[in-house]
Amino acid sequence: MPARDRGPGVPFPPPFVFLAGGGISWLLHRWIAFEIDGDGAGSVQEGLGALLTAGGFAVMLWGIVTFARAGTAIVPYSPASTLVHRGPYRFTRNPMYVGLTGGYVGLALLLNSAWALLVLPLVLAALSRFVIRREERHLRSAFGSDYDAYCRRVRRWV
């Protein structure tokens, strides 16, 4: 079966990586409380948290809508039918993951969770290892030199 028909073989929905990071952070906090600000989130922290959360989820939604309009698979279990390079994909190859990351950081600020921020590099490493690498391998196999040219024009993150 050609790579274009198989899909990237991602083992779980990518948002689960962020949910797992949040769960680990929550467990760590129950073990040893570790807050960003011991007096609680102030108005600046809350404002920044709200802005990052809303902005992150807006970027993620923009990526989803752009994929839907292009008629290609949104979930990484299905094969990509077209190489999308419009909308947020002009600025980042992974706007949904950039958006999830922004939302995660924003929620960490709103919840005053230092653990969530410390766990974030592990979340991003797992996302890269188990999701992004598989997606990129699938796209390179499915679209060849067109995908390579796209990678030269657009960064993986921002």
Specify the length of the chain in residues.
158
pLDDT at 3 over 80: no
Q: Which helix (H) or strand (E) holds 3?
A: helix 3-6
Q: What is the mean pLDDT of residues 69-96?
A: 91
Q: What is the pLDDT of residues 34-50, one digit of tens each?
A: 999 988 889 999 999 99
pTM: 0.92
Q: What is the pLDDT of residue 6?
A: 64
Q: What is the mean pLDDT of residues 43-70?
A: 97
